[in-house]
Amino acid sequence: MIALTWLQALKQANGQPFLADSLARYGYLPNPANSNGLPVGFTASGAAGNQIAGMTCSACHTRQITAEGNTYRIDGGPGIVDFQSFLADLDTAVGQVLASDAAFSPFATAVLGAAPDANDVAVLRQNVNDWYLRFHTLITRALPTPGWGTARLDAVGMIFNRLTGLDLGPPPSHLIAENIKRADAPVRYPFLWNAPVQDQTQWPGFADNGSDILGLSRNLGEVFGVFGVFEPTSDGPVINFLNNNSANFDGLNKLEDLARQIGPPKWPWPVDGNLVAQGKVIFNRSTVDGGCQECHRIRPGKVRFPLVQTWATPVQNVGTDTREYDVLGWSVQTGVLQGAFIPFVTNPLQANDLAYNVLATSVIGTIAEQALAGNGASTPSAVVAQVQIPQGAAQFKLQQLPPQLRDLQGAFHAPTAQPPAPPNINVQGLQAPKPLAAAAPPVQGAYEARVMEGIWAVAPYLHNGSVPTLVELLKPPAARVKQFKVGPAYDTTNVGLAVDQPQSNYTFVATDCSQLNSGNSNCGHPYGTTLSDQEKNALLEYLKSL
């Protein structure tokens, strides 16, 4: 993200150090184990004095709630954080440093030490300018007004923006500013404790999941979205995806292993056993009868390599907000990746193509190149950059992905109006066979239905965080509250966000079913809304016990 010494030298608008409260003002959680002022989920890597600050999964996926005078930490829970304000304030803080020599001088002293050499100061200023050009371009073009607010972000939009806007243009900046679009489809952070075992993932269910290689694909795409360095190069017919690529494969695999160990949090308060038993019966009804099991029970999903049994993750439209589907239709300039494709998996990227296709090619290409290089392949790159290969380039051959990578064929399957045409690429007279047939596209507005273990701990509800409690979710959409505060105070009766939030001044304002594409609609998911009050109480008691 940014050099640690820079971050430590920056100031807030009030003159206090930027890290003064370990970023608690944005909802991030102080980490006493860090002596550098960084909160939970923020890391510093590299040699002492030359460390780079970044983020891991836990920055966005660790929750802390307060109830009945106690505080509870929930590993893997959706963070109650304001990421947009953090990004905007960081941009402002660096801009203020660069505003004048008088502002830059104390910053340079803090970074370089007392009486720094003039040449070192000049180099530092150039480095900060270069960083700020890219970051400021991203922030000013991408962040929406009004903002995402607390506990939400447009993750897919920001991944597309960062990858296509900052990485694919000509050096030295690598910018294609026109690719950066307003990221105005915010969703709530998902919980992580069943993420590794789902057979589909991402809210629209556009990615296969459940194996080690698919977990790496999911995490690598997120790395490209949160400050990872990715500067692919085109050298004649071959794309080098690993050029200056900062992805730490070992680290990503370790994070995935940790996610597998989290497990759902247990309700820490008493439950009524009789009501739990009654609620279980209601849960196991069909949706027609107000039940949940058709969408939210644990049942076997697809088998992944090598014989890994997943949980089925239905993806369907239940009448909720559709805004995220607009993001999946973004078109961008492909820059250095024009023409790139993964043999037998993706089509060659056109000069203007879907951002989604660029992400798929970038992620799959990076993983395949890394794997083939590790296997001693004579040509470490897995990707042919041009449709027609020069006759003299006999060393470049189309090869199908090895079995341990073949799950990547389904790593991205964007919901589109119609399936894309299969690759039809002739290289040295070799005709590439068609890839696996695309599945029928879901209806716009279809999102994944997750298993309900630990659901009590992840409010607000629906994919866009537009409903504050499970009690409200069991009301008809027209009767749900239209605004509520978002913060860590927890309501054990209504199962979700408390009405009063002493630690937060952010209020979410929902739209109704007439504005289904606003990003903020609390429409849809009518299941359970016709149950009697007694049945609803029993169902809630059962959901607490999961």
* Among 452, 544, 434, residue whose Cα is nearest residue 490: 544
pTM score, whole prediction: 0.91
Q: Over range 405-431, report the average pLDDT.
A: 59
pLDDT at 4 over 90: yes
pLDDT in tens, 304-329: 988 899 999 999 999 999 999 999 99
pLDDT at 501 over 60: yes
Q: Over range 91-96, report the average pLDDT.
A: 98
pLDDT at 440 over 50: no
Angstrom distance (rounded) from CA 32 to CA 40: 9
Range in 173-177, 366-370, 482-486 with the lowest mean pLDDT: 366-370
pLDDT at 443: 66
pLDDT at 58 over 70: yes
The residue with greater pLDDT, 422 or 375, is 375
Task: Give the bridge partners for 233, in sequence order.
Answer: 240
Task: Give the bridge partners for 511, in sequence order.
Answer: 521
pLDDT at 371: 84
Task: Give the bridge partners for 317, in sequence order.
Answer: 446
Range in 31-35, 38-42, 414-418 with the lowest mean pLDDT: 414-418
3 state SS of 70: strand
Q: Is the Cβ–Cβ distance between 437 and 413 less than 8 Å?
A: no
Three-class SS string for 225-264? Answer: HCCCCCCCEEECCEEECCCCCCCCHHHHHHHHHHHHHHCC
Range in 136-145, 158-167, 426-435, 534-543 with the lowest mean pLDDT: 426-435
pLDDT at 401: 75
pLDDT at 418: 39
pLDDT at 413: 84
Q: Over range 106-129, report the average pLDDT.
A: 96
**Chain centre to alpha carbon of residue 393:** 39
For 536, the enclosing helix (H) or strand (E) is helix 533-545
- For residue 29, give Cα distances in angstroms to 35, 74, 75, 191, 506: 14, 12, 12, 17, 18
Q: Over range 424-451, report the average pLDDT.
A: 57
Q: Is the Cβ–Cβ distance between 107 and 35 less than 8 Å?
A: no
Strands 42-45 and 52-55, bridge-based pairing = antiparallel
Q: Over range 290-303, report the average pLDDT.
A: 92
Angstrom distance (rounded) from CA 541 to CA 538: 5
pLDDT at 497 over 70: yes
Average pLDDT, the chain: 89
pLDDT in tens, 99-110: 999 999 999 999
pLDDT at 383 over 70: no
pLDDT at 439 over 50: no
Angstrom distance (rounded) from CA 485 to CA 500: 7
